[in-house]
Amino acid sequence: MKNLTISTFSIQRYAMLSIVFTVFGLSLCANKGYSQTSYKSTAGSQIKVTGTSNLHAWNMLATTFTSEGSLKVRDGELQDISSLSFSLPVTNLKSKDDLLDTRAYKALKASEFNRITFRLKGATVMPQQKIKVTGDLTIAGVTNEIIIMSTYAMNSDETITFKGAKQIKMSDHKIKAPSFMMGALKTGNEVNIEILLKLKRQNSIAQN
């Protein structure tokens, strides 16, 4: 009878351990799809600034800057963005006109504030591969909260492409619109910032 009791206890203990490990394994499998993953910008990313003047439109383009974020992807679908930022050296913005570049850098106070930055505050992933992004945009040392409506695409090489645009007023960042030829050419106060981020997967971050 004693041996039977010990045997029964051993079977029950084994069964309980099996249940615990099974539940633990299922939990790991379930959480795997939601793991947070680090992404960084890769070739193909660009930031374009366009504006107007009393004579013609103008634009400046940058293809060299840094961007990184933490994203949650499951079954090839974007689930959430917990962090996202970019940092753009002002002098990496280039036009086809050296004089325009020089005046733009001066207006942006590049000698004092040499980077344009963005830091995510919140993001809502919506149907049809759209995202509502809220964050802090800092230009010429002045930070303003902005909202950008963006689209995204999941690429076959495990990169994710984000596209969005935001129209801002230079005066909101205490920037005086540049002028040329002793004021004969004056740029408009509003500019459009077009952002294309191509982010490449780095590594998964374990969840606590």
Predicted confidence at residue 7, as pLDDT, reads 52
* Closest CA relative to residue 146, chosen from 161, 132, 131: 132
Together in a domain, 104 and 5: no
d(CA 52, CA 58): 6
Provide the residue range defining the domain that includes 79: 34-205
CATH value at residue 193:
2.40.128.110
Query: 13 and 1, same structural domain?
Result: yes
> Per residue in 6-20, pLDDT tens?
455 454 554 454 444
Regarding whether 14 and 28 lie in a shared domain, the answer is yes
* φ, ψ dihedrals at 109, nearest 5°: 55, 45
User: Which is more confidently placed, 178 or 14?
Assistant: 178
Same domain, 138 and 157: yes
Query: Are residues 153 and 186 both part of a single domain?
Result: yes
- Structural contact between residues 14 and 183, judged by C-beta atoms closer than 8 angstroms: no
One domain for residues 81 and 134: yes
Tens of pLDDT, residues 16-58: 544 444 434 434 434 444 567 999 999 999 999 999 988 789 9
pLDDT of residue 12: 54
Does one domain contain both 38 and 14?
A: no
Domain count, the chain: 2
Question: pTM of the predicted model, to two decimals?
Answer: 0.79
CA angle, 196 then 119 then 137, to 5°:
80
Residues 18 and 39 in one domain: no
Work out the angle at residue 138's Cα, subtended by the Cα atoms of residues 135 and 139, and round it to the nearest 5 degrees. Answer: 140
Residues 93-102: tens digit of each pLDDT: 999 999 889 9
User: 48 and 121: one domain?
Assistant: yes
Are residues 18 and 43 both part of a single domain?
no
Top-confidence residue, 177 or 132: 132
Spacing of C-alpha 171 from chain mean position = 25
